[in-house]
Each structure stands twice: as structure tokens, then as C-alpha cells.
Structure 1
Amino acid sequence: MVDPGAFIDEKVDEIRAELGDADAIIALSGGVDSSTAAALAYEAVGDQLTPVYVDTGLMRKGETDEIRETFAYMDSLRVVDARERFLDALAGVTDPEEKRHAIGEQFIREFETVAEEVGADYLVQGTIYPDRIESEGTIKSHHNVGGLPEVVDFEGIVEPMRDLYKDEVREVARELDLEAIIAERMPFPGPGLAVRIVGEVTEEKLDVAREATHVVEEELDEYDPWQAFAAVLGKATGVKGDNRVHGWVVAVRSVESRDGMTARAQEIGWETLQRVQSRITGENENVARVLYDVTHKPPATIEYE
């Protein structure tokens, strides 16, 4: 297990040595990995760092407002509205790997644009060890590792937490006094809701996934899951009122894990599951069915794509 205090001291020195007098931007998503990397880099180089939050349109409900509030102390914070550009990049894409590469490339292009505006030569990322293992193997590409384009217009990419597991990242986040809403937040994939949508990403599917995930996070909070969310699988027949509908099928997933490398599906009470399905189908007229995923990792991955 990492010693968070010693780790922070070591990485602050490393970041200062690697950047020197150069300016950098940090890819800030709002998750614990990138938020911890941002706080660490900001402590190391202060105003040399420009945190960049890209609103991809693939984020959880209320995410952008939370980022503005949480990181308001960083005067150089940039919030980029790139929702339309990401949807355009994903139009017609159905293959999971192609999705990840499309998202990875669009992220880099957004960061390159900001870097040119502020004169930054380096990109700091919150990449952690499981990201590298899964991308270097044959499981899936992470948007910030295997999903990166071959040509990147940065002098260097700095990844201070590349050797940490998620639970170790949380220890570092607590040591840096990050708010609990960040330090204890359940993991959220870098490609966002795009990997919780099977098939092409559309605004309608994103709305369903976003609202359903909000319900799941609220209703399953008492179970203290490692990760809990909803995914949009496809369409099926249902009945709303007296009408037959062809609505979305939503899968609910809730797992326990230590580091995300393996996971076990949680046993959720029947009344809770019924409350979840009632809210999801009741609050979204386009959802016809709600399923609960009982598959562990392996053989499944935690996310759907």
C-alpha cells in the first residue's frame, strides 16, 4: 500500500523536475483519478498549470456544475463546451474500440486547442495502473492510453499516478484534503456514458443513461457499491398505460471491488430493485424494461463497452 504523504512529496518533486519552467494543462474529468492528479500538479507548479474540463455531453447529471464549484479555487480552470463535437465524432460509430479511439482523439484535439491558447507544452493526465494494464493487454483500450491518436502535439505527457490502484488514489486524495464528493466518489469511465450505451451514441440514449444512472446512484447508495450505474442495451416491447411501446432496455449494474481489476455483482434487495425499476420506467417514458446484471468480473468487464 502506498504511503500517501511520501508519494505526494516524491511526485511533486518529479513534476517540478519534468516541467521545469514550462506550462502544462491537466485533463480534469471530475473523477477521483484526474482530480487527484490536478490537485497534485497544482501543488507542484501552481500557476504553470491550466486545468481543463471538457464537457463532452457524455457526463453524469450535474457533473459540469460540480466541477466549477469544486475547483473554483484554481483561477485558471477552463470549462470547454465540446458536446456537439463529441457527438459528431461518435455519429455512426458502433464498435466499442472505435468509440474509445474516437473519444480519445477528440479529447486530445480539445486539449491541443487550449494548450495552444495558453502556451502549454505538456499534458498531465490521471492515468492509473489498471488503465495501463487493460490497454496494454487485450481487454479494452482506455481513451487516455490505448485510445490516444498516434500524433499528439505535446512535448510530453505526465502521468504521476500511473502506478497506483484506485484505492491508493483515494488515499492520496484524502491526504491532499480533496472534498469527500471527489475523494470518495465511485469510479466513472473516461469515455463517460458512451461506454454505457451499446451501439451508436445518440442524444436520446445519453439522456436515458444519464437519468437512469442518477436514479441508480441515489437508490443504491446505502449498499456502498464500488460502482453502480445504468446502461442502455437496445429496445424491446413494453406497455405504458393502455399503449404498446417499443422502448429502451436499461441494465442496472452494481459491483463490489478493491481495485477494479476484478469485481463481484452485489446482492441487492428485491424491494430496492423494484424501486429502482419503478423510478427508471416512471421517470422516462421511453424505457420499457429494467434488468439487473448479476455477472462478476471476470467473465464480464464492469462497464458494457
Structure 2
Amino acid sequence: MEKNIHNEKILILDFGSQVTQLIARRVREIGVYCELWANDVTAEQIKEFNPNGIILSGGPCSVNDEGSPRAPEYVFEAGVPVLGICYGLQTMSAQLGGSVKCSNLREYGYAAVDLLNDNNPLFDGICDKTENGRKQLEVWMSHGDKVDSIPAGFEVSASTPSCPYAAIYDPKRNFYGVQFHPEVTHTKSGAVMLENFVKKICKLNCLWSPEAIIEDAIARIRATVGDNKVMLGLSGGVDSSVTALLLHRAIGDKLTCVFVDNGLLRLNEGAQVKEMFGDKFGLNIVYVDAEDRFLSVLKGVSDPEAKRKAIGKAFIDVFADEARKLTDVTFLAQGTIYPDVIESAAAKTGKAQVIKSHHNVGGLPPDLKFSLVEPLRELFKDEVRKIGLALGLPYEMLYRHPFPGPGLGVRVLGEVKKEYCDLLRRADAIFIEELYKAEWYHKVSQAFVVFLPVKSVGVMGDGRRYDYVVSLRAVQTIDFMTAHWAELPYDLLGRVSNRIINEINGISRVVYDVSGKPPATIEWE
């Protein structure tokens, strides 16, 4: 009998750190299923989840502040290993009888931590460097408070001059705490620490692999769908593409994919989707040419949010029209992934803010009563990509830069016109082609061209012409929350500019955007 990949699991309680999702991603990379929950869950919920270990995340609060969050007491009564990170260490210490105080020296960034003994299994096999005969860890700190006294039963295993309890543990109860952040790449051996916690302390076997996830997803789809038929909005993006192949492998021709060409796609994108999914993989694809319909609802609309809403509504209308033609379909598939689930849950509790409208297949008219099937809702984006590779999707497609749901609708500034989209498509294709040739495409996180609806004078041959301006945009980022403009080589920028101006009749000037995020956003609208 096959092992259930959900039988081994870690529960992560979120205290508000900006990098909490990284903990979950690291645990998944080790090969163990985990879920990320708000810190105020009940004992009954934890019991029902039945974790093999619990991790308490960092957070922005001080445990000494009135009303600051605490771990449910059951965490320390469940009989499973517990790892407290930063704020997680502090609340564990405070709740179990220790004390926390404001540090005279706030530690933020790199720190060298002295290992005081070799007894803590969390640090088994780890020594980043030796200084004056002392074994040290190279870590990333971010804290203003520090543990002042440790609870009974705990031992100190690492310290810094300003943080005497940088790591503590209770070997009898299997409780561990670190003041630094092992989940970030800046902590040199952080991945090994988390692996030690998962494998050596929680004693898990790591059943979570792309092949096992695919097998599990197929079984779940078949159990959910049965002999019914499924409809999927296929955009050609990573999430919908992997969803399509999982469903196709599970239910074959009972899946119908609807691809809506809204006229706001990249150059030749519609043809590429039809060729890959229809010809190569043999999926049933309904191709809808809706360019005129989308451009008509965008006529005269220049406000970015109004454009997003118009595009979203038009998509729903077109998709609904196609859905009504498929009278025997009972399930609607969506490419929802785990961060979407986390963000939706946070939004319901008032802990998240909507920054901009999102474009999706939700919100269909009430006469379309589908049941939902979401095979990716447990997965992070990097896991989705790994599954896509295992299913046979090409690397270049899976690791392509993000593309906004409204497409070129938010890369044409102001009113969207077909003329503008056609010019932008060609300019963007040249930019991406040259990035690939120069081996810069995968060195940047996102790159694209923006169309500016202004005309600039140019000289073509012996004549003066007034043609449009486009801006190149390329950024480098880890999490897309902050970003730095990519310092592309001048010769590359010059080559792109020359090609765009020489090959595209209608563009006379190319500029390069050197704005960071913040204060600018990555997209212009």
C-alpha cells in the first residue's frame, strides 16, 4: 500500500513575520508536508491536524506589549517537538516561565553566533567557521527584544555578546528556540538546521516529492470528479498549464480547456498555447478569439483600476458564454495555489489588504452552478513548477517571467488600442529575445516593455517623424515585495533600442526605467 504523503506533517503558526512563508517552503523542500496557520488557532484544530512537529514563526510584536500574540498552550502539551524562531523563541520562553526584555542593542542583519556545546541536535554537523577556537554559526538576525532568562529545563547552546540566549533547547520535552532566522538564505546553514529539526528531531521520512504529489493529486481528482466532466480556463500561465496537465492525466478527454485570446497577449502566444496543449499533449481546447470584444469594453477607459475591472468582467462574460455551450460539464477547475489560500484566509480576518484587483475565473453568473476542483491549492509556486517539469512541460515555459492577468492592458498606459498593443507586442518580443541571447533573461526576475501614449520626434533617413515611445523595464528581486532595477549592460540596452526603432515602424524612442520598488511598483499600472 502506498504511503499517504499527508501522514507526515509540520504545523507552522504565523506571528506576522514577513518571511513566514519561507519557513513553509523550506520544510516542503526538505520533503515534508506542512501548513501555515494563524497563531490563534484552537487546541481542537491542532489535535485534528495531528502534526508531527510545530514551528512558531517570527513576528513584529514585543511579547511584553499588552495583547501581543501567544502560542496556544496546547502547543506545549501536544507531545511533539516545537521550534520557536525569533518571536517564536521569545513567546515560548515567556509562556514557559522565562523572561524577555528589550535589548540595548537591536540586532538586524548578519551575526556570528558562538556555539557553546555540541549537544543540541538542531545544530548537528554544523560549524560555519571557527574564531579564536570557538565554533560559530553565520546567521541573520532581526530583533529588538531578547530572552533575559530561560525557563526551567532549558539549556543554552548558542550566544552572541549582545544576545546570551541566541539558541536554547529542552532535550526532555524536545523544545528548541533560536533568536535568528534559519529560513532565510542569509543564514548560512539554515536549511540544514530545519532539516535537522524535521528529520532528526521530528523523525520524519520525507514523503513529499513531485512524483508523489502528482500521484496523490491524480487520485484526489478522480475521487472528486468521478465520471463527470470538467472545464478549465487555460491562460497559458504556469498555474493553469500545470492544472490542465494534471487533470488531463487524471480524467483524459473529460476535460475541456477554454483559451480566451483577449488581444492583450504576448506575440504569438495564442498559437503557442494551441500548439503545445492541443497538438503536443492532446488536450481538448476551445479557442475563443475575443480581441474585438475586449478592445470594445476598453475603448475610452484610461484609469488603471477601471481597466482591470473591465478586463476581468469581459473575461467572465466570455468564459460564461462558453460554459453555457458545454451543457454536460459539472466541475470548474481553477489553478488556485497555496499562497492564494493563505492570502484569502488572511483577508477574511482583516490581516491583509487588497492592493489591486485580481483577474480570475471566480464570480461566474449564478446560472452556472459548477463544483470546484483545485488540484494545486496545497502547493507553492516553486512546487508547481517542479510538478510541471515532471509532467513534461518545458523549462522555459515554467520559468518564464510573471505576466499580469490583464496582460498588455496594464502595460499600455492610458487607453488601450489595438495599434498600441501590436507595437508593444513586437517591442516586448525583441527585448525578451535579446535578453535570452545575452544570457540575462534568468538573471532578472521580470522584464517587459511598457507603451507610452506620447509621441517623440525622431529622424528616419532624411525626414523628421513623430512616433511613439516605449520603456524597457527589468528588475531583480527575491520576493517581489521589494525590487531593484536591473543594471543591464549598456551594449545590451543599445542593441535592444536599435532593433526596436529600426524594426518597428511607429516607435521613435526607447527609454529605460531605473525606478526601484518602493517607491515605484514593478508594473507601471
> TM-score normalised to the size of structure 2?
0.53
Change (3 A) 1:126 1:150: closer
2:402 maps to what in 1? 187
2:287 maps to what in 1? 79
Moved over 6 A (4+): none
Q: Deviations over 1:36-91 (max 9, x none)?
A: 11112222222221011111111111112211211123341111111111111211
What secondary structure is seen at the aligned counterpart in 2 of 1:271?
helix
1:283 maps to what in 2? 503
What secondary structure is seen at the aligned counterpart in 1 of 2:284?
coil
The alpha carbon displacement at 1:129 in A equals 5.1
User: What amino acid sits opposite 1:282 in the alignment?
Assistant: N
1:201 maps to what in 2? 416
What secondary structure is seen at the aligned counterpart in 1 of 2:308?
helix
1:115 maps to what in 2? 323
1:50 is aligned, of 230, 234, 256, to 256
The alpha carbon displacement at 1:123 in A equals 2.4
User: What amino acid sits opposite 1:201 in the alignment?
Assistant: V
Q: Return the alpha-carbon distance in structure 2 between the equivalents of residues 157 and 23 of structure 1.
A: 12
Change (3 A) 1:273 1:149: same
What secondary structure is seen at the aligned counterpart in 2 of 1:77?
strand
Q: Deviations over 1:225-274 (max 9, x none)?
A: 32211011221422223444332221111123345444332110001101
In the alignment, is residue 217 of structure 1 matched against residue 432 of structure 2?
Answer: yes
In the alignment, is residue 60 of structure 1 matched against residue 269 of structure 2?
Answer: no
2:132 maps to what in 1? none
What secondary structure is seen at the aligned counterpart in 1 of 2:293?
helix
Change (3 A) 1:163 1:277: farther
Q: Deviations over 1:105-143 (max 9, x none)?
A: 222222222222222233222244566749963321111
The alpha carbon displacement at 1:183 in A equals 2.1
Pick the structure with more helix per residue. Answer: 1
Q: Return the alpha-carbon distance in structure 2 between the equivalents of residues 179 and 301 of structure 1.
A: 30
Change (3 A) 1:137 1:48: farther
Give the number of aligned pairs. 303
User: What amino acid sits opposite 2:225 in the alignment?
Assistant: L
1:231 maps to what in 2? 450
User: What amino acid sits opposite 1:49 in the alignment?
Assistant: L
Cα contact 1:24–1:124 (8 A) shared by 2: yes
Cα contact 1:166–1:260 (8 A) shared by 2: no
Structure 1, 266-275 or 172-181: larger mean CA deviation: 172-181
Q: Which runs of 5+ in 1 are unaligned?
A: none
Structure 1, 184-193 or 159-168: larger mean CA deviation: 159-168
User: What amino acid sits opposite 2:504 in the alignment?
Assistant: N
What secondary structure is seen at the aligned counterpart in 2 of 1:50?
strand
Answer 1 or 2: higher relative contact order, Cα 8 Å, separation at least 6. 1
The alpha carbon displacement at 1:196 in A equals 0.8
Cα contact 2:409–2:416 (8 A) shared by 1: yes
Q: Return the alpha-carbon distance in structure 1 between the equivalents of residues 237 and 338 of structure 2.
A: 15
Q: Return the alpha-carbon distance in structure 2 between the equivalents of residues 129 and 95 of structure 1.
A: 31
Change (3 A) 1:228 1:15: same
Cα contact 1:251–1:293 (8 A) shared by 2: yes
1:143 is aligned, of 359, 362, 381, to 359
Change (3 A) 1:130 1:195: farther
Q: Return the alpha-carbon distance in structure 2 between the equivalents of residues 57 and 282 of structure 1.
A: 25
Q: Which runs of 5+ in 2 are unaligned?
A: 1-24, 29-208
Q: Return the alpha-carbon distance in structure 1 between the equivalents of residues 445 and 433 of structure 2.
A: 14
1:126 is aligned, of 327, 335, 338, to 335
What secondary structure is seen at the aligned counterpart in 2 of 1:34?
helix
Q: Deviations over 1:3-37 (max 9, x none)?
A: 43343234334433443433221111112221111
Cα contact 2:455–2:469 (8 A) shared by 1: yes
Q: Return the alpha-carbon distance in structure 2 between the equivalents of residues 165 and 247 of structure 1.
A: 43
Change (3 A) 1:237 1:94: same
Q: Deviations over 1:273-297 (max 9, x none)?
A: 0111111111223223211122233
Structure 1, 292-301 or 197-206: larger mean CA deviation: 292-301
> TM-score normalised to the size of structure 1?
0.88
What secondary structure is seen at the aligned counterpart in 1 of 2:321?
helix
In the alignment, is residue 7 of structure 1 matched against residue 213 of structure 2?
Answer: yes
Q: Return the alpha-carbon distance in structure 1 between the equivalents of residues 293 and 454 of structure 2.
A: 26
Change (3 A) 1:259 1:79: farther
Cα contact 2:458–2:467 (8 A) shared by 1: no
1:272 maps to what in 2? 492
Q: Return the alpha-carbon distance in structure 2 between the equivalents of residues 158 and 143 of structure 1.
A: 18
Structure 1, 202-211 or 38-47: larger mean CA deviation: 38-47
1:22 maps to what in 2? 228
Q: Deviations over 1:198-244 (max 9, x none)?
A: 11110111011101110110011211232211011221422223444
User: What amino acid sits opposite 2:522 in the alignment?
Assistant: I
2:477 maps to what in 1? 257
